[in-house]
Amino acid sequence: MELSEILNSLRDEVEADDRVREVILPLSRDAVRKCSESVKKTHKGDFSVARELVNEAHSIIRDAEGALDNSDFMTKSKTLDIAYQELAEAANILSLIETGKYTAPDVYNIPSRSYLTGLADVIGELRRAALDFLRQDEVARAESLLEHMEDILEGLQNFDYPNALVPDLRRKCDVGRSLIERTRGDLTRAVGQSRLVRELTEFEKRMRGE
């Protein structure tokens, strides 16, 4: 076989992979954008809209998965990992804040590694929600979210495997640990201030009663 024939055959394969890539990348970006919008809606308490956006993101990812069937190379390239990760994050933030329950990976067919790293990112969003509740004087809800943050970190720390097996998880756990410590400090101060306000209020009532 002539070299030109060999190279032409390989070029055809690469060009076919590139066409698949051009289909998948916009879909992946669109899915990530939907997940980001869902997280924002969850923080605003618009749970029904947030759920619709999660479902839309899942549908987009399924379309991308269908396109992947046309390219072995793109299937192995982990192009959709970020989209899967964002979907795991958005779905769990929604379910935890709305109902206090976790969303399992099989609900949206999320691969295990992407689910784990997406779950690690949930810690940061739960901190954001906990601070929002503290500003609204909803200390009990903030405490509940802190417990979820701690549970997630404790669970993920059991996956003590090399980075090659679970990419980026160890770093995300380190970040999560720092966020939990900060949130615990914020919560402690808020509880102390709330207790002080109650004591002052009771003192004023006693003084007026005297």
Q: Where are the domains of the chain?
A: 1-110, 114-210
Task: Choose the weakest-confidence range: 21-25, 53-57, 115-119.
Answer: 21-25
Fold equal for 1-110 and 114-210: yes
CATH number of 114-210: 1.20.58.2140
Q: Chain-wide mean pLDDT for the chain? A: 90
For the chain, the straight-line distance linking the first and the last C-alpha, in angstroms and rounded, comes to: 106
pLDDT for residue 199 is more than 50: no
The pLDDT value recorded for residue 98 is 96
The alpha-carbon radius of gyration of the chain (Å, integer) is 23
pLDDT digits (tens, 9 = 90+) for 49-91: 999 999 999 999 999 999 888 888 777 778 899 999 999 999 9
Per-residue confidence (pLDDT) for residue 204, from 0 to 100? 56
Cα-based distances in Å from 3 to 17, 36, 67, 69, 198: 21, 48, 31, 29, 85
Q: Distance (Å, rounded) from C-alpha 180 to C-alpha 146?
A: 7
Q: Return the CATH fold of 1-110.
A: Methane Monooxygenase Hydroxylase; Chain G, domain 1 (1.20.58)
Burial class (CB in 10 A: 0-12, 13-18, 19+), 38: buried
